[in-house]
Structure 1
Amino acid sequence: MPRSKALPAELDACARQLVEELRRLKDHSELTMRQLAAKTGYSTKSWERYLGGTVLPPQEAVEALARITGADPVPLVALHEIAADTRDSRRAKAVVRPQPTTQPQPQPQLGEGEGEGEQKGEQEHPGEAAGPLPEIPATPVALTEPPDTGPAPGRFPHLALTACVVALTVALLAALLLMLRLDEDGAPAAVAAAPRTTGASPPPTYTCHITRVDGGWSAGVNKGRNTEISYGETGADVAEAQCLLRRAGISPGGIDGMFGPLTLRAVKTFQQRAGLDVDGMLGPRSWKALRG
């Protein structure tokens, strides 16, 4: 999806901010729509609607995008809840109200001389009448109230605005902390790896402990294995490679055990510097150069 595509004008402030944050995370991770669909379980068409602002994404999709990009899901979930509440408050409800449509009967205009005669006749024959007029039944008319154009004044706007400001502040602080953590080359980095399932068990964490073992470098994550790994794989072998790439002065992003776009770019950069085949895969020769 082009980054320059404008969002719909009818989006409220929190929904617009949520979509912009999701776009920023996708662009920063350099994920394509197909890769995003494969990693989150939501189709490419669904993500095009979510990031285009035409459909509010479900909370599970927001959490999945935050997880694969290493972002804090808390501010994104807060924005999603506020946007969902605002959307629900705008749903119109049709109300049908009966209303009588009786109209006054027009009075006939009397010519000169006619009124006096009829009045005299009515006075002389008070008991005689032309007959009762038929009653006109009241016809119910269905009135449909126009849909609400927004929350009631003084109820939601201040709350939504305050929540948006708080969520934006939390998101900015989380992004700043992530940038500071990525810039700390050589320091032990403990980052929660992306869980494979959405169960209640906590995700594994990986910590880099760079040491020399038998004349080679080791991060102490995968017990010295040199398993061949490539783009899209996850686990301790990937975390070991990420620690060694960071020791070599090349940032792979976070130490999360996910062989994503940032790790792929770091592997290719290292292979180019070491004079190896730049294929983006960590085989025996690449592992030997990383540990050497």
Structure 2
Amino acid sequence: MSRYKALPAELDPCARQLVERLRQLKDHGELTMRHLAAKTGYSAKSWERYLGGTSLPPREALEALARITGADPVPLIALHEIAADTWGSGRARTAVAEPHPTTGKQEQVTLTGPTTPHTTTPPAKAPAPGRFPHIHIALTAGVVALAVALLAALLLMLRLDEDITPAAVAAPPSTAAASPSPSYTCRISRTDGRWSAGINEGRNDEIVYGATGADVAEAQCLLRRAGISPGGIDGMFGPLTLRAVKTFQQREGLVVDGMLGPRSWKALRG
């Protein structure tokens, strides 16, 4: 399970429950920040803020996480709607631009932080009893009316901010959908006593955890041929592929280091 920093003390209970649920889905799916960025369209830095409780994730990000982990999105959306109404209490919002991990385009992310305490204007001295009572009443009524108008304007600004921010953050998924991750197909064959999946042209380059590309997909196909599931054939050396490599190395009597070097490749290719 990943180690997370303690959530901000000022975080609302509903928002805290939402963030804790997101952390559980990430850990249950054995997903890294890199996987989240590749499969949801939101950058790894954005997910660090979402899971750290410093930024409210957009609804589309919740739906994407639920989709890739097989979770029901309805409870997440319900928590999100409640948290959105209270997220800004005692916290200021700042929009920052951040490059998307695959397209390089700038995406808008809303950060939150403690607001500067408001200063109050000292009340005006009341006139002496018996002197100009009608002026005192008029001034009091004017101050009350001004305070009500300022409060209404502030509430309107907060509502507009909540309506606009999700739309700005929701843009990256459409661009990410235009650039899907490459797909690989296993074409298992045996030539001169060596197994091949027909993906990386028979290379035996060393690959380690976190690597991506055709070499990883070739190894995933050969692990599956050997009867050990690496997860999907997606070309990403993630937790499931790492576990499959270690299981294969232990079964073949090799050094169990989770790295595919010359000896592991030789055993995979038979």
What is the TM-score of this pair, normalised by structure 2? 0.53
- Cα distance in 2 for partners of 1:134, 1:10 equals 51
User: Any conservation in 1 of the 2:25–2:69 contact (CA below 8 Å)?
Assistant: no
Other-structure match for 1:71: 68
Structure 2 stretches lacking a partner, 5+ long: 90-128, 156-174
Comparing 209-218 with 256-265, greater Cα deviation is found at 209-218
Alpha-carbon distance, 1:245 to partner: 0.8
Residue among 140, 143, 148 paired with 1:141: 143
> Which amino acid in 2 is paired with 1:215?
G
* 2:8 paired with 1:11: no
> Which amino acid in 2 is paired with 1:29?
E
> Which amino acid in 1 is paired with 2:50?
Y
Other-structure match for 1:25: 26
Give the SS at the match of 1:71: helix
Alpha-carbon distance, 1:284 to partner: 1.6
RMSD over aligned Cα atoms: 4.7
Give the SS at the match of 2:255: coil
- Cα distance in 2 for partners of 1:198, 1:37 equals 12
- Cα distance in 1 for partners of 2:71, 2:27 equals 17
* 2:45 paired with 1:42: yes
Given the superposition, is the C-alpha separation of residues 206 and 75 from structure 1 closer, same or farther in structure 2, using an over 3 Å criterion? farther
Give the SS at the match of 1:212: strand
Other-structure match for 2:84: 87
- Cα distance in 2 for partners of 1:90, 1:70 equals 25
Q: Map 1:117-266; keep pairs closer than 5 Å.
A: 136-137=134-135, 138-139=138-139, 140-142=142-144, 143=147, 198=176, 200-266=178-244
Other-structure match for 1:269: 247
- Cα distance in 2 for partners of 1:74, 1:30 equals 14
Structure (1/2) with the larger helix percentage: 2
> Which amino acid in 2 is paired with 1:57?
P
Give the SS at the match of 1:55: coil
Other-structure match for 1:123: none
Give the SS at the match of 1:42: helix
Give the SS at the match of 1:11: helix
Other-structure match for 1:57: 57
User: Any conservation in 2 of the 1:19–1:53 contact (CA below 8 Å)?
Assistant: no
Given the superposition, is the C-alpha separation of residues 136 and 265 from structure 1 closer, same or farther in structure 2, using an over 3 Å criterion? same
Other-structure match for 1:169: none
> Which amino acid in 2 is paired with 1:141?
V
Other-structure match for 1:159: none
> Which amino acid in 2 is paired with 1:210?
I
Given the superposition, is the C-alpha separation of residues 211 and 59 from structure 1 closer, same or farther in structure 2, using an over 3 Å criterion? farther
Given the superposition, is the C-alpha separation of residues 59 and 212 from structure 1 closer, same or farther in structure 2, using an over 3 Å criterion? farther
Residue identity (%): 51
- Cα distance in 2 for partners of 1:200, 1:213 equals 38
Alpha-carbon distance, 1:29 to partner: 1.3
Given the superposition, is the C-alpha separation of residues 243 and 36 from structure 1 closer, same or farther in structure 2, using an over 3 Å criterion? closer
> Which amino acid in 2 is paired with 1:244?
L
> Which amino acid in 2 is paired with 1:288?
K
Structure 1 stretches lacking a partner, 5+ long: 93-104, 107-132, 149-196
Given the superposition, is the C-alpha separation of residues 285 and 234 from structure 1 closer, same or farther in structure 2, using an over 3 Å criterion? same
Give the SS at the match of 1:26: helix
Alpha-carbon distance, 1:214 to partner: 2.4
* 2:269 paired with 1:291: yes
User: Any conservation in 1 of the 2:209–2:242 contact (CA below 8 Å)?
Assistant: yes
User: Any conservation in 2 of the 1:246–1:252 contact (CA below 8 Å)?
Assistant: yes
- Cα distance in 2 for partners of 1:270, 1:141 equals 77
Show CA shifts across 1:85-140 (max 9, x none). 96268768xxxxxxxxxxxx99xxxxxxxxxxxxxxxxxxxxxxxxxx95622012
Alpha-carbon distance, 1:28 to partner: 3.2
- Cα distance in 1 for partners of 2:86, 2:263 equals 60
What is the TM-score of this pair, normalised by structure 1? 0.50
Alpha-carbon distance, 1:201 to partner: 3.0
